Structure 1
């Protein structure tokens, strides 16, 4: 425990961790439903072990969420301890985010020293996308923490020749697979490469250890999938978004290869109503938004947003939806606080429609158009080698990439065959993590901005490690390498100006000009001290070198604050002055009808012993009753249109068993039920049910669910 005492005595590190805790946790108590889809699942998982094990979306165990269960098990445990609240399901991700900052420090310090480790930890804390996603119940912060913990065991096991630590490292990758499936394997090449290069054992030993580690990783990775797929389909929930009711298809299809190819179908039919979006194709809109009744447009990869209202018409040029088609002016109406709807930012909702559906005025620069000409499908830019430098993505995790390039140049400039140090090996590890991630995000057709948190650890680690080498060369003043640091600072500052300046109209020009001026000033100071050579005091030289990197953290640190200052879209989180609009129109997709108190009272009064209060077409309607009231509700559709948890026959059997008699049919909604959901199900309900007069149950409050309530009693 000596290292814990040493770490606790590091006041600078403690400050960095407190900063991370503030960035990742301040105000999370204001978010009521967070990502409604996942919070609904947590509410259902609290109701039975069956639902808990399968990560069921609804109380009846009808359909699962579109991800494996480990992160939701942790969220459910938090909700069980603290009660089901928005903040209680966010808390595990916030703690994981802070833990990731600490792990970056611990991973960098042994080889590159305390100052480099502090700078790396600060860079990790200030990564905007890390701050954004750690404030939600999306699982990426937990995924990154698990992979960093695996890296810590990898480094420890390799240094100390501890096979047990190595088995744990690869086992944790298996755990990460059960958090977000194939995305966890993005780091596997880095783990293999590092052990092969750094382990001081024979090739025979290396081969044996890696074989054992791989076996452990695969067994843990596939354990839940094999168990679930071996259970008869009628004894478990339908595997949401799998298309074929198979976990393995979900893992290697929807959450695997489809992310790269951009094919948002799930292998069992279209991922969208009518198959129109099945192959990654969007319908031609001709300046109008398609009407989806009172519901939301479906999401195609866990965050595709929606329309809210009566469909209506969107005008591409003026930035405003007409006829209520897009949640253009709703940003301040959600009861949950800052994160619900489109972020709860007052007075800024008038041009949401334009930002969400592109057009000439739909946001500034490249920020705006999901369906516009520069935003890409999920506001992720245009695929290509420079995608991470485009306006849509660069503000999330790319701020320090130019500095990393200079730093890596410095690290490997003095590489010789007989001088292949642990610093080189660790730098290669981080590069083998970073480069595949950058490659994937440069060409992939199916991801969200917040996935870029995968880049945060290697960028932060290489920034700290690279600074250490550039500082060493600068201090020696003996070759051209000593000029790398003075050049790296203004080059990176110039790139950061490029990221910030399109937002000058929103935040003022002071930020972009200030960051650029600070970078130039720091570079001039470094050049002056370099020219003075030995006449400057060493403490001043070191302070100037540290300041050179610190000024480059001002921009990303400000961006990391934006989810607090500007609001956040909890379903598709991203940082930036338009953070409440991140991912296009995802905020509307995540909004909920809330609890209709009159409907709730009617259903409870007329319940005659049924296990479930009612059945809803979608999770957006059912979620508030599960989350806020702890009621048991059946959800008849999953997230994707290809999810078929019920047929007319199985639904009839459910009614005949006496478990449910009320059905709320809405024309759309979030998840599966778009346009009424499965037409066979809807037809069966309307043909066999008796419509309850709306005056008996329909509340008049703005949060009323609407739709038609049917009572079905079968002899």
Structure 2
């Protein structure tokens, strides 16, 4: 077989508005808008069923809708005690939506769903430019249906915005490579910089692939390529660094404490708890590789098999074996291609994204959760779409045909295994996928496409096999509500691992808080109780110590001063020792309150009246 089977640049079919290629077939535009409409229905339908989702981020979004300083810094409360332990970019969108439409579960989650629709559109556009509309549509549809995407684009964690920005960056890189455009490369850097402001160093995992594909494939001299990459790096630093500079130079006494940091700076948060601590453990990171293979919510055991295990497997790995096989095939068949070959450039771009991110997730020793896998979904689906399309084009040759048959077969077998993990859930589905997959793979391998019109039917059947497993599990995920700090995809209500949500406070307690005129209607250790009180009452509730009560905000001395100044209405907690952590003062505060203020009961809840 000629090694050029996959090496010729794919005949692009951009829309007529691009002005740099032939007009797309008539079916492309309605198919594209149908894809976006279907994605919007999947992500927006019954969106409020999950309520506040992750109440930790919900209370911060609510705070941002009520106070501009809280919005800018990502404070957990309008009184600006402490921030979330992430940068605030995703909260900016949810907070603004709450200001415009009034804060509710719907107004909080709509930006997330729209980010999902935008991610699908951008992935389609990026894949289509080099591999045609068919591959673009498959990539977009597969992304929309990936279970972890159907989960996170209907939830209020930062991962929705991060995924959108990563895909946006990849699209800009595609445009940059086409004509060695420094402008598009800088825009890619800006997207990744704002990705840092969404989830810090995780956004940088795509940078090796972005830089390498431009260095290899941009049609200009090496010197200019290096200069353009330097400009893009500056764009990343500026886009990410401006917020660090503003936040860390802002007088600490007039802003909230930076949650999760050890020295009240965003830079420490980026390098410590959300940086090296995630990779190597420590720095406040529990879980990850230290939690053992049975802890689904914390990723299970570290190792090369983590992405296929009980934690990540059903979230994102439905097409992962096929993506790996397609990457190997693509790199092999394009090994002698010209430097600027777009098929190989696609393999470097999406394959590099896939390999680096998957390896980091697999070997992280610090905190890692299954929903992180949404950042892998665009690379996996794009890789399968591009490789599948190129192998189908080379189906007249035995080797590409066998690789394609292998992609179909391994997808069917792996879908069966994943669905068997929920063995009581519609078992006929996994058997149907397995049988159809084996039949289609066999037909491809023996060259059945050569018989009259069988080729089109086989192609449609192969696409059906590729999407079937992720489709049924993705739709099942979107059909049920999810809540808690670690949501899990699947046909059952998303489980809650780690910190559970607080109980809904009584009407009497909510009324008491709403009648308060203090800066903080109440204070409570950690966010478990504070979030439900604030979200229900609409009043500022001080989350002592942040997420788990372990941050020194406020210190015991500050808390006593606030009480003396009459700025806190009630203390609501479960006593000393609850949720306290190293460096925090929540235990000491609880003991001081119990020793100096009488307890009373409101709506069955023990509270301490702190007003003079």
Q: How is 1:214-613 mapped onto 2 (pairs within 5 angstroms)?
A: 214-263=233-282, 265-266=283-284, 374-376=293-295, 378-420=297-339, 421-445=341-365, 446-474=367-395, 477-504=396-423, 506-527=424-445, 530=447, 533=450, 536-537=451-452, 539-578=453-492, 580-581=494-495, 585-586=497-498, 589-603=499-513, 607=516, 609-613=517-521
Distance change (3 Å), C-alpha of 1:669 and 1:184:
farther
Q: Partners of 2:363 and 2:439 in 1: how far apart?
A: 37
Distance change (3 Å), C-alpha of 1:659 and 1:381:
closer
- 2:563–2:611 CA contact under 8 A, matched in 1: yes
Q: Render the CA deviation track for 1:256-305: whole Å, top value 9, x for unaligned.
A: 11112232x43xxxx7xxxxx6x9898xxxxxxxxxxxxxxxxxxxxxxx
Q: Partners of 1:559 and 1:230 in 2: how far apart?
A: 47
Shift of 1:86: 1.2
**2:12: which partner in 1?**
none
Distance change (3 Å), C-alpha of 1:281 and 1:105:
closer
Shift of 1:246: 1.7
**1:643: which partner in 2?**
551
**2:606: which partner in 1?**
707
Distance change (3 Å), C-alpha of 1:427 and 1:59:
same
Q: Partners of 1:578 and 1:453 in 2: how far apart?
A: 19
**1:3: which partner in 2?**
17
Shift of 1:45: 1.5
Q: Partners of 2:180 and 2:399 in 1: how far apart?
A: 38
- 1:620–1:669 CA contact under 8 A, matched in 2: no
Q: Partners of 1:8 and 1:553 in 2: how far apart?
A: 20
Match of 1:616 among 503, 519, 524: 524
**2:10: which partner in 1?**
none
Q: Matched residue of 2:186: which SS?
A: helix
**2:7: which partner in 1?**
none
**1:664: which partner in 2?**
572
**1:196: which partner in 2?**
215
Match of 2:171 among 142, 148, 152: 152
Q: How is 1:70-219 mapped onto 2 (pairs within 5 angstroms)?
A: 70-219=89-238
Distance change (3 Å), C-alpha of 1:693 and 1:415:
closer
Q: Partners of 1:377 and 1:479 in 2: how far apart?
A: 41
Q: Partners of 1:121 and 1:624 in 2: how far apart?
A: 37
Q: Matched residue of 1:635: which SS?
A: strand
Distance change (3 Å), C-alpha of 1:375 and 1:623:
same
Q: Render the CA deviation track for 1:36-86: whole Å, top value 9, x for unaligned.
A: 011111111222221111111112111000110111001101111221111
CA-based RMSD: 2.7
Q: Partners of 1:8 and 1:257 in 2: how far apart?
A: 48
- 1:407–1:469 CA contact under 8 A, matched in 2: no
Distance change (3 Å), C-alpha of 1:511 and 1:693:
same
Gaps of 5+ in 2: 1-14
> What TM-score results when the alignment is normalised by the length of structure 1?
0.77
Q: Partners of 1:381 and 1:661 in 2: how far apart?
A: 43
Q: Partners of 1:550 and 1:280 in 2: how far apart?
A: 35
- 2:298–2:368 CA contact under 8 A, matched in 1: no
Match of 2:534 among 613, 626, 651: 626
Distance change (3 Å), C-alpha of 1:280 and 1:520:
closer
Q: Matched residue of 2:433: which SS?
A: helix
Shift of 1:103: 1.1
- 1:664–1:710 CA contact under 8 A, matched in 2: no
Q: Partners of 1:280 and 1:140 in 2: how far apart?
A: 18
- 2:552–2:585 CA contact under 8 A, matched in 1: no
Q: Render the CA deviation track for 1:391-435: whole Å, top value 9, x for unaligned.
A: 332111111122223322432333254534111112211111010
Shift of 1:161: 3.5
**2:587: which partner in 1?**
679
Task: Tell me, yes or no, if structure 1 residue 55 matches structure 2 residue 74.
Answer: yes
- 1:243–1:642 CA contact under 8 A, matched in 2: no
- 1:666–1:708 CA contact under 8 A, matched in 2: no
Q: Partners of 2:459 and 2:513 in 1: how far apart?
A: 67
Most deviating of 126-135 and 404-413: 404-413
Q: Partners of 1:165 and 1:450 in 2: how far apart?
A: 30
Q: Partners of 1:542 and 1:565 in 2: how far apart?
A: 32
Shift of 1:641: 4.0
Distance change (3 Å), C-alpha of 1:386 and 1:9:
closer
Name the structure with the higher helix share.
Answer: 2
Aligned residues: 590
Most deviating of 52-61 and 65-74: 52-61
Distance change (3 Å), C-alpha of 1:645 and 1:39:
same
Match of 2:600 among 680, 693, 706: 693
- 1:493–1:520 CA contact under 8 A, matched in 2: yes
Q: Partners of 1:101 and 1:14 in 2: how far apart?
A: 11
Q: Render the CA deviation track for 1:337-356: whole Å, top value 9, x for unaligned.
A: xxxxxxxxxxxxxxxxxxxx
Shift of 1:712: 4.3
**1:13: which partner in 2?**
32
Q: Partners of 1:673 and 1:597 in 2: how far apart?
A: 31
Q: Partners of 1:16 and 1:670 in 2: how far apart?
A: 48
Q: Matched residue of 1:503: which SS?
A: coil
